[in-house]
Amino acid sequence: MIITRLRSRTESGLFFGLFLLFIYFMKKIDLFFSFILVPLDFVFLVLAGVSAYFIRFSKFTTEIRPVIFDLHFWTYFKIVLFISVLWIIIFAFSSLYTMTSRRLSQEIYRLFLACSAGFVLVVILIFFQRELFSSRFVVLVAWVLAVLYTAIGRSIIYWIRKILYSQGIGIKNIILVGSSKTGDNLIREFFSKRYSGFKVVKRVRDFSLETSKELSEFIDNFNKENRHKRERIDEIIQSDPNLSKVETLRLYDFANEYHITFKYVADLLEVKVLKTEVSEMAGIPIVEVKRTTLDGWGRIVKRLFDIIFSGLIILFLSPIIIITIILIKLDSHGPVFFSRRDDGSPVFRVGQGGKPFYYFKFRSMIPGTDSMRYNELSDRNLRKDGPMVKIEDDPRVTRVGRFIRRWSIDELPELFLVFIGKMSLVGPRPHLPEEVAKYEQHHKKTLTIKPGITGLAQISGRSDLLFEEEVKLDVYYIENWSLLLDLAILFKTPLAIIRNRKAE
């Protein structure tokens, strides 16, 4: 008996330890909890519906009011599952799965409103389909229990998150800009309440050009020194109302360049703000500039979308992939994939956050001729408006290479990069490190998200666009992402390929 208890405690301790280890190695615990809230809410909503059923058919309730209707449990359970899915959708539209620093009371209030909207939906369904439910009591009790159970679930998550934060797990490292009392209050708040989830690692009084250089060095050193801890600078908070507008905008561009979330004290920024979210810290309204809707739950949705659809497309196009491999080997000597430079070094592209990743696609050129684009063939470059290089009448292209380029077949291996998470189906094009090195500051916003196989620029003119026009389209996509926009771009991509081929 004692051995069994010890084993049970050991297993539970091991499970909890593994859970903490998993959380620790996650870049942001907010993303984890945002993800887990969906199944948790679903379970609690189903539990609320089931509890209401058994309360109605309990001896205590039936003695007060006898049951005069016939409602089998499994029929009722199927209806509860369907309605719970609808309620989850309502929760999503109520922003209950976005990662914010809302107080628990605010979260529960939003839950109450969302559950009330779901209750109204059930009432409307009963109005049109009377046989769904025969008891107003069950509906009313299920609504009350849904609010109660989901509030308990949120409270548990809120409590666990505070414990993790107090242990230094998942906290956000912050740079504070400004010398005002507001900044002093924030530092005092974060220091006294470790469970807030924020830690000020550096504070500067202004944001002059000298300060910008100082912060650049600090961020680089901090990220390198804490790489083994998987820590980095997460946010910059502009807290000084006396900071000039020029400094504020320079700070905003600086945060974009380093892919850091930018927040500021309310009413200080009047331009360049497209999507914002207001939260409260130490009683002070703080506005966060959303770089993209992919910062939160959208990232999970897009990743699941990429995994599912890239896998399906790979299976569907596998015959074409196999035939292309055979044709490349028959047409010319050399590897099937273009994955190494002329000197034997691996080919890289620049991905999300400016991080390079190993890249490959079908080889369409004679081996050992890649560097000619910057030397012998540089005078044939059609893209002189920016850092991109496109050679006119490229003599390096093989016969098969010309065909697979014309129909974008050479880029099909990128689907495997999408599947493993280095790229996305839709996004800005992945550019070479030497091209990104020539970017101006505002160009670097295109590195906010993962690069894509296709995107707005590809369906709007492909290589015929000027580089600045391409950047504007990519930035628009980043700031206005939606799953419907991704689907629209994917459906238009084959048409864009055919249209451009006809124009040649």
Give the pLDDT confidence of 112-160 residue by residue, as tens digits. 888 888 888 787 777 666 555 566 778 888 889 999 999 998 888 888 8
Give the three-state DSSP class for 424: strand
pLDDT band of residue 372 (cuts 50, 70, 90) is confident
* CB burial string 144-180: b at 16+ within 10 A, e below: ebbbebbbebbeebeeebbebbeeebbbbbbbbbbbe
Residue 212 in domain = yes
115 and 245 both lie in a single domain: no
> How confident is the model at residue 2, as a pLDDT?
47
Residue 196 in domain = yes
112 and 222 both lie in a single domain: no
Q: What angle do CA 106, 276, 160 make, to 5 degrees?
A: 40
Give the three-state DSSP class for 462: helix
Residue 2 in domain = no
Residue 49 in domain = yes
**For 192-217, what is each residue's pLDDT tens digit?**
877 778 888 899 888 888 888 899 99
Tokens of 427: 């996004």
**For 427-438, what is each residue's pLDDT tens digit?**
999 988 888 888
CA atoms of 171 and 83, how far apart (whole Å): 36
> How confident is the model at residue 24, as a pLDDT?
46
pLDDT for residue 303 is more than 50: yes
Tokens of 10: 């050991």
pLDDT for residue 5 is more than 80: no
Q: How many domains does the chain have?
A: 3
> How confident is the model at residue 422, as a pLDDT?
93
pLDDT top residue among 264 and 280: 264
pLDDT band of residue 99 (cuts 50, 70, 90) is low
251 and 126 both lie in a single domain: no
| Residue-averaged pLDDT of the chain | 80
pLDDT band of residue 271 (cuts 50, 70, 90) is very low
pLDDT for residue 287 is more than 90: no
CA atoms of 50 and 138, how far apart (whole Å): 9
413 and 449 both lie in a single domain: yes
348 and 393 both lie in a single domain: yes
**For 445-462, what is each residue's pLDDT tens digit?**
889 899 999 998 888 765
- Domain boundaries, position 348: 297-503
Radius of gyration of the chain measured on its C-alpha atoms: 28
pLDDT for residue 46 is more than 60: yes
Return the bridge partners of 348, or none.
358
pLDDT for residue 4 is more than 60: no
Mean pLDDT of 293-311: 84
> How confident is the model at residue 384, as a pLDDT?
67
Supply φ then ψ for residue 152, to 5 degrees: -65, -45
pLDDT for residue 383 is more than 70: no
- Taking residue 105's Cβ as centre, other Cβ atoms within 10 Å add up to 8
pLDDT for residue 31 is more than 80: no
**Boundary (domain end) residue, out of 118, 148, 166:** 166
CA atoms of 191 and 202, how far apart (whole Å): 13
**Boundary (domain end) residue, out of 132, 166, 200:** 166
Mean pLDDT of 276-295: 70
328 and 466 both lie in a single domain: yes
Residue 93 in domain = yes
CA atoms of 98 and 79, how far apart (whole Å): 28
> How confident is the model at residue 310, as a pLDDT?
92
What pTM did the predictor assign? 0.62
pLDDT band of residue 9 (cuts 50, 70, 90) is low
Any idea what the CATH number is for the domain that residue 187 is in? 3.40.50
> How confident is the model at residue 199, as a pLDDT?
86
pLDDT top residue among 83 and 180: 83
> How confident is the model at residue 10, as a pLDDT?
53
Residue 8 in domain = no
Residue 7 in domain = no
Q: What angle do CA 235, 240, 242 make, to 5 degrees?
A: 145
pLDDT for residue 497 is more than 50: yes
**For 398-442, what is each residue's pLDDT tens digit?**
999 999 988 889 999 999 999 999 999 999 999 888 888 888 888
pLDDT band of residue 470 (cuts 50, 70, 90) is confident
Supply φ then ψ for residue 497, to 5 degrees: -65, -45
151 and 255 both lie in a single domain: no
340 and 432 both lie in a single domain: yes
Residue 363 in domain = yes
343 and 486 both lie in a single domain: yes
CA atoms of 388 and 446, how far apart (whole Å): 14
> How confident is the model at residue 386, as a pLDDT?
63
358 and 261 both lie in a single domain: no
301 and 156 both lie in a single domain: no
**For 218-237, what is each residue's pLDDT tens digit?**
998 888 888 777 788 888 98
Supply φ then ψ for residue 150, to 5 degrees: -65, -35
**For 322-340, what is each residue's pLDDT tens digit?**
999 999 999 888 899 998 9
**Boundary (domain end) residue, out of 290, 321, 337:** 290
384 and 472 both lie in a single domain: yes
